[in-house]
Amino acid sequence: MFHEIQGSDEEHQQAFRTGCTQSYLESVIVHLRRKRWDIVSLDEALACLAADDPSRRFAVLTFDDGYRDTLTRALPVLDRHRAPFTVYIPTAAATGELNCWWLGLRALFQRQDSVELAALDTSVDCRDLAGKIAGYNLARQWVHQDYRRAALLGESFTRYAVSLPELNETYFMSASELRDLAGHPLVTIGAHTVSHRALADLEAPEVAREMSDSRRQLERQLDRQVLHFAYPYGGAAACGEREYRIAGDLGFHSAVTTLESPVLAQHSRYPHRLPRIGLWGSVARLDSFSARLRRLRNAVAGDFPLPGP
């Protein structure tokens, strides 16, 4: 699981643990193939699970949120290595309406030397990089404890003239750019809700609308079926049995979480709770990735949470 793919001149953003570099993405692809892992599309991965062939090791590359650098920086690397990949799109990003609070917090702490966060009832001295990162992490973790808190950051964004619509326009693909990306033969487009809210916080009918509306908008825009889904945030606090069931009822062929595990044989029976391995920020080092791969390769089922009720 990848998010932003940043240039080597964006070390400041990398320090905020928001992405990884093109060179790291390329090193992951090279390393996987050198270790004889097949890089496959999501559809092929589901077929591999159904075939239940334990001799074949495979990996799926996924990119969340529809960042423009998926098109401008990731695609050239993936195309060069002929590596298929999936991109999950929250449809409000292309319209400039996404509450991209995580980008707002990053911009806030990058630009300011002192920040008052009214929602947290705290002030942060952030005159150096360490202070900026500490303040950013404090606020980010506060939201991750209860995703409904994201809406409370608006007062601070307004106070410090942080425009979320401008950040949407700067960082996310436009509708035309998304069409360009979707037309590439290596690309699978998946739905990621409309608003990127944590689905566990919503009533069931709204959960279904977030899933189905995002798919319908993407299908209308791209003139193709959208058969795969990613739960926003994707952890146990953001999705669970109800969301897995709704994704299946709506006809999605798969849905991915952010629960860290290898894909196990049991997942063939539970394709709407697929795990992923996050690669960004402080874990975006090849030695770290290689060690995690070794752990996955040598894993026994008892080391990881099994799918199922």
Res 158 pLDDT > 80: yes
DSSP three-state, residue 38: strand
pLDDT confidence band for 11 (50 / 70 / 90): low
Q: Quick one: what percent of the chain has pLDDT higher than 90?
A: 78
Q: What is the pLDDT of residue 289?
A: 78
Is the torsion defined by CA of 182, 186, 190, 194 positive or negative? negative
Per-residue pLDDT of 92-138, as tens digits, reads 998 889 999 999 999 999 999 999 999 999 999 999 999 999 999 99
pLDDT confidence band for 306 (50 / 70 / 90): low
Amino acid at 162: V
CB 232 within 8 A of CB 129: no
Under 8 Å CB-to-CB from 2, ≥6 apart: which residues?
19, 20, 25, 61, 62, 63, 64, 74, 279, 280
Q: Which helix (H) or strand (E) holds 176?
A: helix 175-182
Strands (E), 65-128: 85-89, 114-117, 122-125
**Among the ranges given (54-58, 155-159, 288-292), the one the predictor scored with the smallest mean pLDDT:** 288-292
What 53-58 contacts at long range (C-beta under 8 Å, 24+ apart), as own/partner pairs, is: 54/265, 57/297
Under 8 Å CB-to-CB from 79, ≥6 apart: which residues?
184, 186
Superfamily, domain 4-97+172-303: Glycoside hydrolase/deacetylase (3.20.20.370)
Q: Which two tokens stand for residue 146?
A: 């209860």
Res 301 pLDDT > 60: no
User: Alpha-carbon distance 231 to 244, whole Å?
Assistant: 9
| Cα 182 to Cα 66, 86, 186, 220, distances in angstroms | 11, 10, 9, 13
Domain positions in the chain:
4-97+172-303, 101-166
Model's pTM, two decimal places?
0.94
